[in-house]
Amino acid sequence: MLIVQNHQQQKDRILSLIKARGPSLPVQIAKGIGVESLFAGAFLSELYAEKKIKISDMKVGSSPLYYLEGQEEQLEKFVEHLNAREKEAFFVLKREKVLEDNSLEPVVRVALRAIKDFAIPVKIKMNDDSKLFWKYFLLSDVEMKDALNTKIFGVSIERKEEKVEQKVVEKIIENEIKVEKKASEAEEQKELDEKVAKKIKKEKSGEKKEKTKIIAKIKNKEESIQDNEFGKRIKNYLFSKDIEILDVLLDKRTEFIAKTRLDMLFGKQEFLLFAKDKKSVNDSDLMSAVQKAQIEKMPALFVSFGGLNKKGEEYLKEWRNLIKFEKIKN
């Protein structure tokens, strides 16, 4: 019973800590309640499952932020951790409050889709078609209604001399409005499409040779992997474990090295992966992997269809913080 009470006390301390300091990183929470990050992560997972806390889509480093309902506004303090494109899109949306997707440059559209904490998608039906708008996350329903009317009708609800019928206003809030498209809409869309097409054509012209080289390189790499039976087996194993291959560095008949990434408790973690087709992996194999991984400033992940010998087990125990080992079951 005491263990259960202590467990609940730690969760209550986390809630109090987040309430006091606002959106926080897992490492800050662990330090704040005086426990290891692993235990703090377990408590946070339980609180999230219980819907007592929220998790940001935005990452600070490789970790998300944990916050309470009502603390959304404080996420703005971490906007500096967005990349340049995402930051630019954030400030445009904050200034305009509501943006029409079709009227934006392609790079801005992509950035808005990436900042899910700050950009809320709103679909509006118009005749037999629908339009996508982006709402600033702190915008209230009333403010959104006014902004949408201004965007669509060209006039604010408060200043409108001829009021829109109540049914139309309700449909705006419910994202189900139907209005006639502006006569100039087709012309504006055509102009936008021509501008985008011209820009893409220019970029393609300047990058054609480089892209050809890249495509050829990728094709050769893929063919190399396909021709190597050991590489195919490792690739299938990684796929089954949801381990993403970022870059294949070596793909031989009995050896495979690649930069990989996988989801961990506190976010995505990159590893330098080593795979060897050996019946027994020794300490020299692990030592070589650690040294190469340190050059890349990454932890090592060693997988093999064979197990560790005695010296390999001793080395792994000593260097377990720098290298992980897993035997692949045939």
- Domain 82-173 in the same topology as domain 2-72: yes
pLDDT higher than 90, residue 223: no
Q: Per mean pLDDT, which range of 9-18, 224-233, 303-312 is the poorest?
A: 224-233
Query: pLDDT tens, 104-118?
Result: 999 999 999 999 999
CB neighbours of residue 77 within 10 Å: 11
Integer angstrom CA distances of residue 258 from 217, 248, 328: 16, 4, 17
Token couple for 126? 């118009």
Token couple for 61? 């480093």
**Contacts of 17 by beta carbon, 8 Å cutoff, 6+ apart:** 24, 29, 32, 33
pLDDT classification of 7: cutoffs 50, 70, 90: confident
Query: pLDDT tens, 273-286?
Result: 999 998 899 999 99
pLDDT higher than 80, residue 287: yes
Q: What phi and psi values does residue 251 have, to the nearest 5 degrees?
A: -140, 90
What is the DSSP track for 208-277? HHHHHHHHHHHHHHHHHHHH-HHHHHHHHHHHHTTPEEEEEEEE-SSEEEEEEEEEETTEEEEEEEEEE-
Percent over 90 (pLDDT), the chain: 47
245-259 exposure pattern, b = at least 16 Cβ within 10 A, e = fewer: beebeebeeebbbbb
Q: Of 29-33, 167-171, 196-200, which one has max mean pLDDT?
A: 29-33
Which CATH number is associated with domain 230-327? 3.40.1350.10
Among the listed residues 95, 107, 143, the one whose alpha carbon sits nearest the alpha carbon of residue 122: 143
Instruction: Say if domain 82-173 classifies as CATH 2.60.40.
Output: no
Residues 189-210 have a mean pLDDT of 63
pLDDT higher than 50, residue 157: no
pLDDT higher than 60, residue 173: no
Contact 30, 10 (CB under 8 A): no
Which CATH number is associated with domain 2-72? 1.10.10.10
pLDDT higher than 90, residue 69: yes
- State the pLDDT at residue 195: 63
Which residue type does 204 have?
Answer: K
Q: What is the bridge-based pairing of β-strands 267-276 and 280-281?
A: unpaired
Give the residue extent of every domain in the chain: 2-72, 82-173, 183-219, 230-327
